[in-house]
């Protein structure tokens, strides 16, 4: 029983073999999947795909890259989607100071809107953070009680504290398998067992054995295996723990 807590199987990269991707995921032991929206169109697509599969759960949100498009119309649609019972989280939203396809000011405004919506609906927020740690910590302070996950956590141990202190979950991707990423592996060892999650972020960030190729949910097994060995537990225990954590956070049936 494995849970991929962050996948984008609606992405065009999967158009040619999407059904096979879902089938391979189940064959690999993925029993739950969270399909994460990044704008209005993809959020709707996540809902459509999830409605056909009881083990797949959608989210709705606007990625920081597209925060410039988080206007009144988009917010109305995202709010409507997030209010639906099948929606397990708001987002992904967050801050990305690396590419800055949207300005910092616009990203911050969109993040605060998503965070407020998550608090209002009592649903978790899926947080993207790249090169924006300090700014994100400051922003989180304005939303006490927010339930959230740091998706694709790529930092090390020193940055963990402010997120764990706020009760956030920490999700690791195939990045943790990369040879020169000792800091991220140390973080995967340090996160308390009840706050640990795994994901693919597919089609991006394939684990080391398939690095450079399209990622897909079945490949989450390599991430589970690496973290289990780092923490000195069995594959089965790590899979069970992270799946139980996902259920506690996303509260699906």
Residue with the two structure tokens 């459509």: 48
Rg (CA), the chain: 17
Q: Collapsing DSSP states into helix, strand and coil, what is residue 68?
A: helix
The 10s digit of each residue's pLDDT in 63-76 is: 999 999 999 999 99
Sheet of 30-35, strands arranged across: 2-7, 30-35, 56-60, 89-96, 125-130, 148-150, 169-172, 196-198
pLDDT band at 253 (very low <50, low <70, confident <90, very high): confident
CATH number at residue 118: 3.20.20.140
Q: What is the mean pLDDT of the chain?
A: 98
The 10s digit of each residue's pLDDT in 88-121 is: 999 999 999 998 899 999 999 999 999 999 999 9
Looking at residue 39, its pLDDT comes to: 98
Percent with pLDDT over 70 in the chain: 100
Mean pLDDT of the 49-67 span: 98
Mean pLDDT of the 211-230 span: 98
Looking at residue 72, its pLDDT comes to: 98
Question: What whole-number distance in Å separates Cα of residue 123 and Cα of residue 82?
Answer: 9
pLDDT band at 161 (very low <50, low <70, confident <90, very high): very high
Domain count across the chain = 1
The 10s digit of each residue's pLDDT in 180-218 is: 999 999 999 999 999 999 999 999 999 999 999 999 999
Looking at residue 143, its pLDDT comes to: 98
Q: Collapsing DSSP states into helix, strand and coil, what is residue 89?
A: strand
Question: What whole-number distance in Å separates Cα of residue 43 and Cα of residue 62?
Answer: 8
Looking at residue 82, its pLDDT comes to: 98
CA atoms within 13 A on the CB side of 216: 19
Q: Which domain holds residue 191?
A: 2-250
Residue with the two structure tokens 């919506």: 117
């Amino acid at each position: 029983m494995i849970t991929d807590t962050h996948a984008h199987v609606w992405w065009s990269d999967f158009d040619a073999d999407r059904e096979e991707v879902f089938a391979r995921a189940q064959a690999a032991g993925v029993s739950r999947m969270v399909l994460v929206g990044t704008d209005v169109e993809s959020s709707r697509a996540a809902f459509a795909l999830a409605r056909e599969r009881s083990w797949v759960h959608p989210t709705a949100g606007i990625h920081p890259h597209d925060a410039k498009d988080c206007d009144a119309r988009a917010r109305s649609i995202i709010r409507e989607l997030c209010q639906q019972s099948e929606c397990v989280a708001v987002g992904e939203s967050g801050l990305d100071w690396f590419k800055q396809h949207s300005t910092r000011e616009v990203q911050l405004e969109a993040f605060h809107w998503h965070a407020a919506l998550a608090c209002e609906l009592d649903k978790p927020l899926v947080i993207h953070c790249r090169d924006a740690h300090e700014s994100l910590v400051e922003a989180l302070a304005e939303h006490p009680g927010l339930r959230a996950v740091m998706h694709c956590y790529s930092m090390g141990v020193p940055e963990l504290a402010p997120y764990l202190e706020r009760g956030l979950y920490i999700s690791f991707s195939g990045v943790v398998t990369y040879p020169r990423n000792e800091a991220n592996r140390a973080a995967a060892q340090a996160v308390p067992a009840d706050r640990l999650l795994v994901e693919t972020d597919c089609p991006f960030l394939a684990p080391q054995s398939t690095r450079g190729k399209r990622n897909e949910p079945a490949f989450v097994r390599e991430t589970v295996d690496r973290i289990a060995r780092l923490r000195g537990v069995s594959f089965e225990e790590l899979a069970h723990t992270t799946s139980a954590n996902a259920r506690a956070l996303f509260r699906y049936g």
